[in-house]
Amino acid sequence: MQALLQQQTEDRFVTLDALRERTAQADLAMLASELCSALVAFRASHPSFAVLVEDSAGATGPLAAEVRGRVRRWVIETLAPRATAGLSRQRLAAVAAVVQQAMKAANQLKADDLPGGGAPALKELALMLRCYLEVALKPAG
């Protein structure tokens, strides 16, 4: 079970790294859309991942925290080149935390029994995330 979890964790980051490469020159609308669909697509192709992470140590256990921490660092690294000069590292970390929660929210929207299978709601979430990033990646002031 541990080997499967380790493999699926690595698969997750291969998928995320491919997203970063694919969106490196994209506008914020495409990035937001990709971020909102990334974990939904991953969970669809790796349905046991969430269960394995939570069963191995609980949702608040060290393994789950490690995976969340890696995703957070990935989000920071993905957003950093798009951030305006002068944006503090602390602010970027806070923005990354919000983005990570939006990514998780996409999974919940997809799982909910919504008209259109959640696709219209996912589009709205991507729009919300794009608008947020347009403001958040600039220094406050």
Confidence of residue 29 (pLDDT cuts 50, 70, 90): very high
Higher-pLDDT residue of 88, 66: 88
Q: Is 85 helix (H, G, I), strand (E, B) or coil?
A: coil
Question: pLDDT category, 136, cuts 50, 70, 90?
Answer: very high
Residue 9: band (very low, low, confident or very high) from pLDDT cuts 50, 70, 90: confident
The alpha carbon dihedral of 38, 40, 43, 44 has a sign of negative
Nearest CA-CA partner of 107 in 25, 65, 49, 62: 49
Question: Which residue's structure tokens are 């939006």?
Answer: 102
* Domain layout of the chain by residue ranges: 2-136
* pLDDT score of 124: 96
Q: What is the pLDDT of residues 117-126, one digit of tens each?
A: 889 999 999 9
- Report pTM: 0.87
User: What is d(CA 4, CA 118) in angstroms, rounded to the nearest whole number?
Assistant: 29
User: In sequence order, what are the residues at sequence separation of 6 or more whose Cβ sits closer than 8 angstroms to the Cβ of residue 39?
Assistant: 103, 104, 106, 107
- % of residues, the chain, pLDDT over 90: 60
Asked if 32 and 130 touch (Cβ cutoff 8 Å), the reply is yes
Measure the CA–CA gap between 50 and 5, rounded to whole angstroms.
9
